[in-house]
Amino acid sequence: MTAVQAVAIIAVAITGGAVALFEDPLRETFLLGIYGMTLAALFFSLQAPDVALSEIVVSAIGLPLIVLAALRKVREQAREREHGRRNDERGSG
């Protein structure tokens, strides 16, 4: 194992753990992108540039966009529900 590979494995362990430990989905999404980058560096150091490229495009572009859009929709719905409840209370009161 070369020093580059060792560093890459440690970086994967740290960023992967960070993704699991953070509880806010928004932060997790950004961390997931960084985690994907370290994973890509690991694949690259193990002489698998094809897999590294796939990892980069999926974890840095493909997945975050979908998760961010879903998060926004969920928050908006929560806000609308809150808004609706307040209107109902005002209507009955």
Residues 6+ apart with CB under 8 A from 19: 28, 31, 32, 35
Footprint (CB under 8 A) of other proteins, residues 74-93: 76-77, 80, 84
Indicate whether 66 belongs to the interface with other proteins (CB under 8 A). yes
Write the secondary structure of 26-93 as one string of H (helix), E (strand) and C (coil): HHHHHHHHHHHHHHHHHHHHCCCHHHHHHHHHHHHHHHHHHHHHHHHHHHHHHHHHHHHHHHHHHHHC
Choosing from 1, 23, 90, 92, the residue that interacts with other proteins (CB under 8 A) is: 1
Give whichever of 17 and 49 is closer to other proteins, judged by the CB atom: 49
Closest contact distance (angstroms) between CB of 22 and other proteins is 22
Residue carrying the six token digits 């994907």: 36
Give whichever of 20 and 69 is closer to other proteins, judged by the CB atom: 69
Which residues contact other proteins by CB under 8 A? Answer: 1, 49-54, 56-58, 61-62, 65-66, 68-70, 72-73, 76-77, 80, 84
